Structure 1
């Protein structure tokens, strides 16, 4: 199976490299490419079986790339190929399905407790995961509603299912306790490192969400 990750960051692809690493942990036979959206890299979608859209470190509607990636994902949905949106990518999916994006009163930065809904407890995306677990966050905008809500934190919706092969996750399941803490120590937006890292788990199990996504879509990819 061949996967394309759309990286939406300004000048770094670390997040997408972490997503790639998490994917390969569960499925080492995957072929994975990374396309830098802000450099207007949009490979032919016919060459890929599924797509992942990363988070983004800020954007303006004045820029062309948010509109272009949204148009690209709309086309992919239209041809029936699987998509997983992460953070900003999740918000793109929500907008394409006609749902609102809100700005939180306070950003979620660091590990936040995420609880599965009844639908989430039954969904294969969270197979072999507890019904409540801390997952790394880095966002101030979030999905207000839409689709089948699979998980929530105290402040916002955390996971949504739009179809059998289209999911959005607000959290960053690619961040391990080690990598997340390392990032927060040097991040200017993290005002309280101790608070942000209090819930950091000892064991990294969130990578299974990426594995489960591939397991789900494997049945649909010819």
Structure 2
């Protein structure tokens, strides 16, 4: 099986997703838009993973490859193959499905709980009633038409959704201690005092148990989506 991931900046990689893919014997390929925005043959990809980045879906003039990426995502979704989007990746999926992307009322950066939706239906991923997860975003999106709402937080209503075999996660379940340090080192200027923005010390004080729980939830999402391959 082949998994292909889209990476938008050098400091936001797969995190814990990489070890899950290796453990499950996936061949891993990538498009790194910051270096060489070459897109794969969608026929040769079983599982598409779209990572985050500081740019907006609406920044297509500054990042012209976003237009091609959106077209690829739209076509891939139509093939009904599993797709996972994280943060910007979730916004790209939502945009490909026709939703608007716009600034959230509050930036959300750090460790804050999400609540699983009680409206989940058969065939959709089930989030726990509450889970503390990692966030780093300033934008949000309208829930795509026909999608199932999966999770929310106090600061952001649409934290996760599913439509068909596509799942979008506004939050970061793949974060590891290394990836948390990486995003802080490149985006430290965003850590300003605000209700839903934690300081650097608080973010980095999360212990191994917090990361283990986070990455276990990521693995459950990946397990769920991978079962849809060739189903």
* TM-score by shorter chain over 0.5: yes
Helix, strand or coil: the match of 2:137? strand
| Residue in structure 2 matched with residue 45 of structure 1 by the alignment | 42
Length, aligned pairs only = 214
Show structure 2 runs of 5+ residues with no match.
Answer: 193-198
1:21: how far off? Answer: 2.5
- TM-score (structure 1 length as normaliser): 0.83
Pair 196,107 (structure 1): closer, same or farther in 2 beyond 3 Å: farther
| Residue in structure 2 matched with residue 132 of structure 1 by the alignment | 130
Show structure 1 runs of 5+ residues with no match.
Answer: none
Report the Cα distance in structure 2 between the residues aligned to 1:105 and 1:23, rounded to whole angstroms.
34
Structure 1 stretch 143-152 or stretch 190-199: which is displaced more? Answer: 190-199
Report the aligned-residue RMSD.
2.7
Match among 31, 36, 50 for residue 35 of structure 1: 31
Tell whether 2:227 aligns with 1:216: no
Structure 1 stretch 103-112 or stretch 199-208: which is displaced more? Answer: 199-208
Report the Cα distance in structure 1 between the residues aligned to 2:2 and 2:217, rounded to whole angstroms.
18
1:42: how far off? Answer: 0.5
1:216: how far off? Answer: 2.5
Q: Contact 1:120/1:151 (CA < 8 Å) preserved in 2?
A: no
**Deviation digits for residues 122-176 of structure 1 (CA, Å, limit 9, x no counterpart):** 776457xx4211111111001232321100011211000111x111000111113
| Residue in structure 2 matched with residue 57 of structure 1 by the alignment | 54
